[in-house]
Chain A
């Protein structure tokens, strides 16, 4: 989608100054309903290493925007336009706008076509673009500028840019704008919004249908170390979803909670039909060196017969191995694992049990197992 919309003239005059260091006095000219935030950002395409003071505008609708240079180009031969980039409240790029009459240019002086603008929007919308990890000098060499160190000019390109991620003849513009839209400013917007939210807002964000909001809420909860029961309940609910990054962040959030809360929630999550989920819980318990409470033991043992995969059993036994006290009553049920048809599982149990005190009967079970499976031990 392309937005070519005219804006309040006074505001725009002020915005055009963004590329010089802005004096706060200039900023006050802007519409009173918008909040201004002075932010500092070093754009990776900038020639000098000094950081730039930029003004980020926050609208009433809690959108953010900034007017930025369309391109930084080392050779001072590019036409630089001003382009306005919009983000939502959690720093996700939304769209861009150009002042009426302004059109972006490609390397050969051609103007951007409608198709190019569409592509640009598509590129900016892609958070994981290859631009993320490319240095400006690689882009420049793809453009054909010569690098004096190499034996010719094609050498400096560390990566070939696919047609789909860049606009022919406007790679530098794409690169420059991508870093405006998806660079460090995103963090700064999140920080601004984060500071203005309370727990209720975060609960709403957790329930938002978009994973990005949920992740934002978790990030904020982690920063605040907020583990209120109502939040925890919601988070457990959220763990049922399929979004892997969210699941991962939930585990990290829980791992930072007080021990009791952490263990309880983890064992609640462990009570699942899904072996992968159980593995994640066991991995976390193991990794955090958790000392299991008796309640925790009983919750774990309840799943003993459901453990189908070797990895689960291995993790479970490793977790037991780490516990300081061992009660006989907790060992006995494990003998059932010796009968498991998966040799990896039964063998793991055998080696675990072999090192425990065994009753006569148990010893016999162990001996029989060793005899029967001597080729596998």
Chain B
């Protein structure tokens, strides 16, 4: 028995693991000693007068453990929990959102061609209900509200996953440290999902990974460097300013580094186009170990940032900055790239540009190949980013890049997936990461139901995973839904009170968004619209699910400079097309009964469930939208 293995067994049996003998030469023993040996700690409880060693060890069991609560991890955890798995989400810092949190304030972008739906869209819309002011600290708490209200899901903040406890090629537990409560947690689970970006847990499990840049030849990537090297894209910090309405002086801190604007500005992307919200090209990267260099790089980033700001404020070249003062500057750099864990498939540049069809597709991406230069601001000779090429259409993202090739029960999603460096330059966009998250979360739940691991899921149950994702409103290009359990497909007639565009038949065609000219919706002429599905023989129904319209061609994310969204006349609210109020009726023995109500709805996917009825017809009354004149739907499903 490996030492770590013994440790967990012991912990389960004895509970207070601090009583266990510590094996001195075990690696990494230093962690064990500091976390476990509290014999000198004598907690005096003044109230009760009792003194003793505080118990700072806990063991928690779950089905699925998700590490890292960036938008990928959030999506993974919610998907796993909603699909029935008891899930824990651990996040090493106090807020949720990863790079999109108030700590870094990166904009939640997605494929520019058409927007992602599913969990990420739910969150972005919900934010308009609670946070119309587009405040990042409030957004953190919108995420907190969203996560903490999900049944089956437990959130552990300020908890860092440190090490995997293995049983052969399987992870049995994650050792975590919760800094705020001085507590060491042993989190036992059946499926592990590492969405932490850096992937410490996966690395300690021994999951195979890569860092740096592949050479051109390895995958035939024309934009890759000739020879492989160690460079990753860099880290950045952001800032936000405010207009004080009067001249504001600026004195740079002592550690600021002067900005060589003449060289910098030779690249057209490296310019000062605004003074409101940070510059993505103030970036520092590492050639050998961007994780080890983190603290030095943070210091450098702050130094470079203040140097640039000093130039803006004090060179006289930016009169528009006269009244502008810094209001917030990040202290935690956002990270673009470090470990990329290897799966059975590695997504490459060619998959992004040639858009092949993947039988195991679980979502899509669409960002251009946007590869930041090696070295960032320390390499002014190269452009800040190589916008190599756009992918014209959205491209498919396969499940085959989302689980470890050598650790059986480990999946990953987000920037640490099985990608080449060049592929990551496109897939790192947050909503793309979130789609990966929803897929692995759903996949982990299915693995649990079937007692299998992700590789087997991919080879045998891909259809089931895709159907579940489609049902949960993920869009998978070139993969219409064909769920045989969906009774709406067997209805003899679907009638509408009126039709302005599209057709009621399209509500069961399995494609839940329009594809350019190809229509997949039904739109009523006005509101108080009704749809009626008729079956020849009675069917048993307890769930009716609708997909409404949120206009996936429009941008809906908030912005760290809210003024910009106002200028761009972006809708700062729930999409007006979305159904707000509706009801579902079932006809039982010739009588209509209301079985479900949809009120104050803010999600594209409207799931209703009710006591099962035996019925020959379902009627949906679409009463109100969030502003649009007409009711519009993309899908209707009915289940027993």
Contact B536 A158 (CB under 8 A): no
B229 interfacial contact with A, CB 8 Å = no
A92 interfacial contact with B, CB 8 Å = no
Contact partner, A248, options B268, B370, B525, Cβ 8 Å: B525
Binds A, one of B48-56, B475-483, B492-500: B492-500
Known: A146-B269, A311-B493. A155 touches B429 (CB 8 A): yes
Contact B616 A376 (CB under 8 A): yes
Contact A283 B497 (CB under 8 A): yes
Contact B113 A151 (CB under 8 A): no
Query: How long is the Cα–Cα vector from A248 to B390 in the complex, in angstroms?
Result: 43
A160 interfacial contact with B, CB 8 Å = yes
B273 interfacial contact with A, CB 8 Å = yes
Known: A157-B112, A160-B113, A283-B497. A151 touches B492 (CB 8 A): no
23 A-B pairs (CB sep. < 8 Å): A136-B568, A148-B278, A148-B280, A149-B560, A151-B280, A152-B367, A153-B269, A153-B370, A154-B112, A154-B370, A155-B367, A156-B112, A157-B112, A158-B555, A159-B113, A159-B553, A160-B113, A287-B497, A310-B534, A344-B492, A350-B590, A351-B591, A376-B537
Interface of A is mostly: helix
Q: Which of chain B's residues have a CB closer than 8 A to the CB of A375?
A: 537
A151-B428, A152-B280, A154-B390 given. 16 additional CB < 8 A pairs? A135-B568, A146-B268, A146-B269, A148-B273, A148-B280, A149-B277, A149-B564, A151-B280, A151-B370, A152-B367, A158-B554, A314-B495, A343-B536, A344-B492, A351-B591, A376-B538
B607 interfacial contact with A, CB 8 Å = no
Interface flags for B527-542 (1: CB within 8 Å of A; 0: not) read: 0100010101110000
A234 interfacial contact with B, CB 8 Å = no
A347 interfacial contact with B, CB 8 Å = yes
Rounded to whole Å, the gap between the CB of A46 and the closest CB of chain B is 11
Interface flags for B495-533 (1: CB within 8 Å of A; 0: not) read: 101101000000000000000000000000100100010
Contact B554 A152 (CB under 8 A): no
Contact B553 A133 (CB under 8 A): yes
Query: How long is the Cα–Cα vector from A261 to B269 in the complex, in angstroms?
Result: 67
The residues in A between 129 and 178 inclusive whose CB is less than 8 angstroms from any CB of B are: 133, 135-137, 141, 146, 148-160
Instruction: Give 3 nearest A-B pairs by CB, closest first.
Output: A351-B590, A152-B370, A154-B368
Q: Which of chain A's residues have a CB closer than 8 A to the CB of B149?
A: none
Contact A376 B495 (CB under 8 A): no
B262 interfacial contact with A, CB 8 Å = no
Query: How long is the Cα–Cα vector from A123 to B386 in the complex, in angstroms?
Result: 33
The residues in A between 267 and 316 inclusive whose CB is less than 8 angstroms from any CB of B are: 283, 286-287, 310-311, 314
Contact B277 A148 (CB under 8 A): yes
Query: How long is the Cα–Cα vector from A259 to B322 in the complex, in angstroms?
Result: 67
B152 interfacial contact with A, CB 8 Å = no
B570 interfacial contact with A, CB 8 Å = yes
A354 interfacial contact with B, CB 8 Å = yes
Interface flags for B611-625 (1: CB within 8 Å of A; 0: not) read: 000001000000000
The residues in A between 325 and 377 inclusive whose CB is less than 8 angstroms from any CB of B are: 343-344, 347, 350-351, 354-355, 375-377
Query: How long is the Cα–Cα vector from A146 to B280 in the complex, in angstroms?
Result: 11
Interface flags for A20-63 (1: CB within 8 Å of B; 0: not) read: 00000000000000000000000010000000000000000000
Q: Which of chain B's residues have a CB closer than 8 A to the CB of A377?
A: 538, 589-590, 616
Contact partner, A149, options B336, B387, B528, B561, Cβ 8 Å: B561
Interface flags for B543-578 (1: CB within 8 Å of A; 0: not) read: 000000000011100011100100111100000000
B179 interfacial contact with A, CB 8 Å = no
Query: How long is the Cα–Cα vector from A136 to B366 in the complex, in angstroms?
Result: 21
B320 interfacial contact with A, CB 8 Å = no
Q: Which of chain B's residues have a CB closer than 8 A to the CB of A136?
A: 568
Query: How long is the Cα–Cα vector from A160 to B538 in the complex, in angstroms?
Result: 46
B279 interfacial contact with A, CB 8 Å = yes
Query: How long is the Cα–Cα vector from A248 to B567 in the complex, in angstroms?
Result: 36
Contact partner, A158, options B276, B278, B370, B553, Cβ 8 Å: B553
Known: A146-B273, A150-B107, A152-B368. A160 touches B392 (CB 8 A): yes
Q: Which of chain A's residues have a CB closer than 8 A to the CB of B390?
A: 154
Determine the residue in chain A with the shortest Cβ distance to B425.
Answer: A152
Query: How long is the Cα–Cα vector from A136 to B616 in the complex, in angstroms?
Result: 50
B77 interfacial contact with A, CB 8 Å = no
Contact B274 A148 (CB under 8 A): yes
Contact A151 B616 (CB under 8 A): no
Contact B553 A137 (CB under 8 A): no
Q: Which of chain B's residues have a CB closer than 8 A to the CB of A314?
A: 495, 532
Query: How long is the Cα–Cα vector from A146 to B385 in the complex, in angstroms?
Result: 12
Q: Which of chain B's residues have a CB closer than 8 A to the CB of A156?
A: 112, 555
Rounded to whole Å, the gap between the CB of A226 and the closest CB of chain B is 23
Q: Which of chain A's residues have a CB closer than 8 A to the CB of B591?
A: 351
Contact B387 A155 (CB under 8 A): no
B640 interfacial contact with A, CB 8 Å = no
B131 interfacial contact with A, CB 8 Å = no
B106 interfacial contact with A, CB 8 Å = yes
Rounded to whole Å, the gap between the CB of B40 and the closest CB of chain A is 48
Rounded to whole Å, the gap between the CB of A274 and the closest CB of chain B is 16
Rounded to whole Å, the gap between the CB of A128 and the closest CB of chain B is 11
B109 interfacial contact with A, CB 8 Å = yes
Q: Which of chain A's residues have a CB closer than 8 A to the CB of B372?
A: 152
Determine the residue in chain A with the shortest Cβ distance to B559.
Answer: A149
Q: Which of chain A's residues have a CB closer than 8 A to the CB of B561?
A: 149
Query: How long is the Cα–Cα vector from A287 to B621 in the complex, in angstroms?
Result: 13
Contact B279 A148 (CB under 8 A): yes
Contact B112 A155 (CB under 8 A): yes
Contact A347 B616 (CB under 8 A): yes
Query: How long is the Cα–Cα vector from A283 to B524 in the complex, in angstroms?
Result: 12
Highest count of chain B CB atoms <10 Å: which of A149, A158, A159, A376? A149
Q: Which of chain B's residues have a CB closer than 8 A to the CB of A159?
A: 113, 553
Determine the residue in chain B with the shortest Cβ distance to A44.
Answer: B569
Q: Which of chain A's residues have a CB closer than 8 A to the CB of B278?
A: 148
Q: Which of chain A's residues have a CB closer than 8 A to the CB of B336?
A: 151
Determine the residue in chain A with the shortest Cβ distance to B392.
Answer: A160
Contact B493 A310 (CB under 8 A): yes
Q: Which of chain B's residues have a CB closer than 8 A to the CB of A355?
A: 590
Q: Which of chain A's residues have a CB closer than 8 A to the CB of B492?
A: 344
Query: How long is the Cα–Cα vector from A47 to B136 in the complex, in angstroms?
Result: 27
Q: Which of chain A's residues have a CB closer than 8 A to the CB of B368?
A: 152, 154
Q: Which of chain A's residues have a CB closer than 8 A to the CB of B569?
A: 44, 135
Query: How long is the Cα–Cα vector from A51 to B528 in the complex, in angstroms?
Result: 36
Contact partner, B385, options A152, A283, A287, A354, Cβ 8 Å: A152
Contact partner, B109, options A151, A248, A344, Cβ 8 Å: A151
Q: Which of chain B's residues have a CB closer than 8 A to the CB of A343?
A: 536
Interface flags for B409-438 (1: CB within 8 Å of A; 0: not) read: 000000000000000000011000000000
Q: Which of chain B's residues have a CB closer than 8 A to the CB of A44?
A: 569
Q: Which of chain A's residues have a CB closer than 8 A to the CB of B567?
A: 137
Query: How long is the Cα–Cα vector from A347 to B390 in the complex, in angstroms?
Result: 57
Contact B553 A344 (CB under 8 A): no
Contact A158 B273 (CB under 8 A): no
Q: Which of chain A's residues have a CB closer than 8 A to the CB of B497?
A: 283, 286-287
Query: How long is the Cα–Cα vector from A248 to B523 in the complex, in angstroms?
Result: 14
Query: How long is the Cα–Cα vector from A363 to B84 in the complex, in angstroms?
Result: 51
Query: How long is the Cα–Cα vector from A286 to B497 in the complex, in angstroms?
Result: 9
Contact B112 A158 (CB under 8 A): yes
Rounded to whole Å, the gap between the CB of A160 and the closest CB of chain B is 5
Contact A151 B429 (CB under 8 A): yes
Rounded to whole Å, the gap between the CB of A5 and the closest CB of chain B is 36
Contact partner, A152, options B387, B493, B564, Cβ 8 Å: B387
Query: How long is the Cα–Cα vector from A86 to B77 in the complex, in angstroms?
Result: 58
